[in-house]
Amino acid sequence: MNGEDAIAGAIQRYTDLIYAVPGYPVTGLAERVNAEGVINEKVAVEYALGDSLSGRRSAVIMKNVGLNACADPIVNATTQGLSAGVVIIVGDDLEAKGSQNTQDSRYYGEVAQIPVIEPDRETCWRGVEGAFEASERFSRIALVRLTPPLLESEVTETFSEKVVKSGTLADPSLTMRGRAMQADLTTHLLFSWSHLSPLNRLRGGTIGVGAAHGTSHLVTVYPPPPLPRGAPINEYGRPFVREHFTVEPPVERRVPETFSTRGHFRTFCPHCPFKPMLSIMKERAMRPICDMGCAILAINPPFSIGIGGYGLGSSVAVAAHSTKVALCGDYALLHSGINGLIDAYEKRVPLLCIVMKNERMGMVGEARVYDPVRYISWTNPIVCAADDREMLKKVLEVSESPRTVVVEGRCPDGERHEVVEC
């Protein structure tokens, strides 16, 4: 069998759900596994994160340039955590046969502090399963890099047992800085994992990376294990491994910051117009996926209903595959959340999308925001005033089909988010 056959078999064996945005060199792979097509790569990754919160493993297949579109949720998942494994299967177009550049996807491992596996001819199956295990062990997305030489080569079939673990979400008592500190501590363990991984076979001589030939074979390309200085390295694409001979884990070693050790938390402005809506959601035990912006404050007391955000505009698609309730601002929706909304409506996913319309970016200088209603008229949005409790009680319900509720409120002039001492 060739590499495409082997990777396809592994994906089908080790995953519950598969998404794809096709493109060379992974179009055939996406077709082989009957992946669900998604409007763009970012939404596909957000769907996978929603599945993760619901305990389902997901794989997302895309080409190298498509990886750029989902950088935000990839990076944010490292600090927010996940439950079931999420693996991105990315195909690098080394000669720009069907792409506008020859981007090397492995650099995202360093940017997002995520495990990157590049299978060779003996580790197609074990490499995919190893990526899921690493995703669950370190509570972050894992990346599997494929190249045309591997997909087209004859490979050795290496079956591996499915070992399901469980990742963890970030401790809600941690501040955002504390979540980043905790992620750095876990990244130290990621380095140890790579050093001890049986996927690597280092015997001296030339080190072959992925499908490239060598006496030795390196599969866990980020973070790489210690390699002999000066050893010849054979790899496809940029000299990524050669550039990372001396890479080290983050230096952060202190105890992660919590709200109690910092001494305070932030919540909504004292006279925030959206407090009646949030109170109703709390009374009904709703668990919204929160977007970046004011919506993310719903995680904190006194409401404590939200689940952490995975990037600006990510709440819609993540919620569609998890809690079914998205809480986002008008800017987050227009920024990129509208893509997930389009996909959810096309597929008739049960979803309650709550848009907090205040026509300003309250966390970044209060710049004005376009009115989102005219741009989502195709959803037949329900528009209601933030102080209309009776109307809110009627419309804040998840139904069998997607529903968008735009809650209009005016932020009080001159107010700032309230700081509450612990």
Q: What is the pLDDT of residue 368?
A: 87
Is the pLDDT confidence value at 362 over 70? no
Residue 244 tokens read as 């990372």
In sequence order, which residues have a C-beta less than 8 Å from that of residue 198 and are 6 or more positions away? none
Look at residue 290 in the predicted model and tell me its pLDDT: 96
For residue range 122-154, list pLDDT tens digits in order: 999 999 999 999 999 999 999 999 999 999 999
The Cα 177–Cα 78 span in angstroms is 13
pTM: 0.96
pLDDT at 114: 98
Where, residue-wise, is CATH 3.40.50.970 in the chain?
A: 3-243, 263-421
Give residues with Cβ within 8 angstroms of 7, minimum separation 6. 29, 89, 119, 124, 128, 144, 146, 151
Greater confidence, 20 or 362?
A: 20
Q: Which residue has the higher pLDDT, 227 or 39?
A: 39
Which pLDDT tens digit goes with each residue over 302-350? Answer: 999 999 889 999 999 999 999 999 999 999 999 999 999 999 999 999 9
Point out the least confidently predicted range of 77-81, 157-161, 283-287: 157-161
Residue 342 Cα to chain centre, angstroms: 19
Structure-model confidence comparison of residues 419 and 229, the more confident one: 419
Where does the pLDDT of residue 365 fall: very low under 50, low under 70, confident under 90, or very high at 90 and above?
low
Give tens-digit pLDDT for 254-270: 899 999 999 999 999 99
Question: Does a cis peptide bond (omega within 30 degrees of 0) precede residue 25?
Answer: yes
**Percent over 70 (pLDDT), the chain:** 99
Residue 363 has pLDDT above 80, yes or no: no
- Is residue 108 a contact partner of residue 114, using CB atoms and an 8 Å limit? yes
Looking at 211-225, 230-244, 363-377, which range is the least confident one?
A: 363-377
Band of the pLDDT at 158, cuts 50, 70, 90?
A: confident
Mean pLDDT calculated for residue range 271-294: 96
User: Looking at the chain, how many residues does it have?
Assistant: 422
Question: Contact at 8 Å (CB) between 382 and 415?
Answer: no
pLDDT attached to residue 364: 58
* pLDDT tens, position by position, 164-218: 889 999 999 999 999 999 999 999 999 999 999 999 999 999 999 999 999 999 9
For 263-421, CATH gives 3.40.50.970
Task: Using pLDDT thresholds of 50, 70 and 90, give the confidence band for residue 228.
Answer: confident
Neighbours of 408 (CB within 10 A): 20
Confidence tier at 63 by pLDDT (50, 70, 90): very high
Three-class HEC string of 219-264: CEEECCCCCCCCCCEECCCCCHHHHCCCCCCCCCCCCCCEHHHHCE
CATH superfamily name and code, 3-243: Thiamin diphosphate (ThDP)-binding fold, Pyr/PP domains (3.40.50.970)
- The better pLDDT of the pair 229, 194 is held by 194
Average pLDDT over the chain reads 94
What lies within 8 Å, CB to CB, of 414 at 6+ separation is: none
User: Are the C-beta atoms of 23 and 98 separated by less than 8 Å?
Assistant: yes
249 band by pLDDT with thresholds 50, 70 and 90: confident
